[in-house]
Chains A and B, each alone.
Chain A
């Protein structure tokens, strides 16, 4: 970058919405004026203490924040080595970190006078969170969801319908998150005047990666304070699963300028990083442009986008938020892969040892903790973002373990 050289890793994106060479605004002209309007509205909201006060009110009284920081002692004792803390985003209303962002975005939509909400969803957690805030504020809600995901996340589909949302199954492509996002963007282009698109992850055209990150930073900010209170110091490792990367960036961002904190993002390695079936865009992709931003993508030699694979619907996406691409290139964050099988094992171990059934997404991060904790010393600390609860996954886990529910 020539004109923008921040002293802090937390100062990005620049005025063009770039994190280094990633991010930007690669959308059709029809959407461009809306993106600019959204950015202006977001800047005004950020500068308005009333907006922050309103956000804080809903986060405390509706979402149930702050979420607890839990010392996973039995898991720690079982592994030997480092102390392990879970940031319990699974205990938020609706059962995942997604609601933090949805509250922020719907308050923004109301400020902008928008009267209809759309969203895309993979695992259904973001769809449920969006349907929830739409019910809370009385706005009609349409959620696009890949037909494959509709099938493997039935409980969440039913939840969204109970909450009054319309769920539109998308059957193009592999019928997963990427395709749901395409159709949400098509809906938005056709309904630009009244519709607000609540994007669920820290990706998409600027300013979405920035605003989603900002709304999710409550995770890292709280955890930092809670850990200081419990241990009087920062963690040695902070770790989170990355699909699009919103829970991870929310945890990492408040620690970016703390060089003593090692940051680890866990990608879904599916059936293995060296197979064709994974969702590891940083480990096995290369930079390109999709869904409005320049970022690492799974693509073939001709720049056609490849289908991702993960046992976890929430990680099943061939791209990643642009800030992660930049953090990968500058090597501030390490990105590793965890397979379906490793995640399944961690899912079961965490359930038995801690009495916490984690989301399959979060189980990927736990699986990597199983690898690194035993090699660390007893006075070292791992902070793990337990981004969601696993109730939604019990049907697909049962199927993988060979039992029928």
Chain B
């Protein structure tokens, strides 16, 4: 069983949802990212998503755009991101890591080489924002060969008919982009989730993670009352900029408490 599948199976037994915090690699420097990864894993993160900086992050709002710029200024490259993962793995062999980014740096690295190196470094899954189901054959043979999950995005605009196509052959979990918009802007309501999540459940047995606009422990709790995981990104980056890494880890602990209390309270 993959690390990701293992985490969701264990949480199902515990009857709670997962917290997936986000770290933009090298924002503002490599050491901070490494400290955040370790601290988040210790502080209740069930899976960690690592952003791979790109100059033109078309689906991201101002917060992650700025984080990516800082990461690039600090010297982030895909090789560097994989090095970060390797170093984290020396201390932690169990927390799944999912890389999120855009296609061009991966193409530039070489798709087969990247998948091989990512798997060897200890990466568990990939989220490639600008690679829809129609183009996924470009990478699927290589992700499959190296045991990496290619995590698919589903949006409110994805029709029921299209859901089948998007989720065919997917693994790991489903990333539900809960709003029509860019990261860190709007937030889906409980009513939105109550309407949307069952639509996805009807076509897949995979766990469903909800991202875009999840900011507070209360919102994370609402999310995992309907779905299987809450992804928090922009809110943590804003805290990092404003108050530093220590405050981010406090916030992660509060979010972790939020997802742990959710179903008990519901």
Contacts and interface: CB of A to CB of B under 8 A. Distances in A.
Q: Are A and B co-members of a single complex?
A: yes
B177 A304 contact: no
A302 B152 CA distance: 24
A291 B101 CA distance: 14
B2 interface: no
A305 B72 CA distance: 12
Contacts of A87: none
A113 interface: no
Contact of B107 (A32, A288, A305): A288
A289 B138 CA distance: 12
B173 interface: no
Nearest to B106: A303
Please report whether the interface of chain A is mostly helix, strand, loop or mixed according to DSSP. mixed
B65 to A, nearest CB: 6
B243 interface: no
A33 B154 CA distance: 11
Interface stretch (A104-112, A178-186, A230-238): A178-186
A24 B166 CA distance: 17
B108 A26 contact: no
B55 interface: yes
Contact of B162 (A26, A33, A190): A33
B55 A305 contact: yes
Nearest to A173: B55
B134 A32 contact: yes
A75 to B, nearest CB: 40
Contact of B108 (A16, A173, A185, A301): A301
Given A186-B61, A289-B104, A26 B55 contact: no
Contacts of A27: 130, 132
B155 A30 contact: yes
A30 B181 CA distance: 8
Contacts of B56: 173, 178, 182, 290-291, 305
A303 B166 contact: no
Contact of A32 (B79, B109, B132): B132
A190 B182 CA distance: 7
A25 interface: yes
A186 B58 contact: yes
A192 B180 contact: yes
B142 to A, nearest CB: 16
Nearest to B69: A172
A34 interface: yes
A28 interface: yes
A26 B103 contact: yes
A124 to B, nearest CB: 22
B185 interface: yes
B248 to A, nearest CB: 24
Contacts of A192: 157, 180
A198 interface: no
Contacts of B78: 302-303
B131 interface: yes
A155 B78 CA distance: 42
B107 A289 contact: yes
A29 B154 CA distance: 6
Contacts of A272: none
Residue of B57, B59, B131 with highest tally of chain A CB at under 10 A: B59
Contacts of B79: 302
Interface in B106-142: 106-109, 129-135
B45 to A, nearest CB: 25
Nearest to B105: A303
Given A186-B59, A303-B108, A30 B157 contact: yes
Contacts of A30: 59, 153, 155-157, 177, 180
Contacts of A291: 56, 58
B88 to A, nearest CB: 21
Interface in B197-236: none
A161 interface: no
A29 B158 contact: yes
B77 interface: yes
Nearest to B60: A186
B124 to A, nearest CB: 21
A25 B79 CA distance: 27
Nearest to B59: A28
B177 A29 contact: yes
Contacts of A292: 130
B59 A304 contact: no
A289 B103 contact: yes
A322 to B, nearest CB: 13
**Residue from the set A27, A28, A191 with the largest chain B CB neighbour count within 10 Å:** A28
B58 A24 contact: no
B132 A304 contact: no
B54 interface: yes
B34 to A, nearest CB: 20
B62 to A, nearest CB: 8
B104 A185 contact: no
11 contacts: A28-B59, A29-B157, A30-B177, A32-B158, A186-B58, A288-B108, A290-B104, A299-B104, A302-B79, A303-B108, A305-B55
Given A190-B185, A299-B104, A303-B107, 11 more contacts: A28-B59, A28-B155, A32-B134, A173-B55, A185-B58, A186-B58, A290-B56, A302-B77, A302-B108, A303-B108, A305-B55
Interface of B: 54-59, 61, 65, 72, 77-79, 102-109, 129-135, 152-159, 162, 166, 177, 180-182, 185
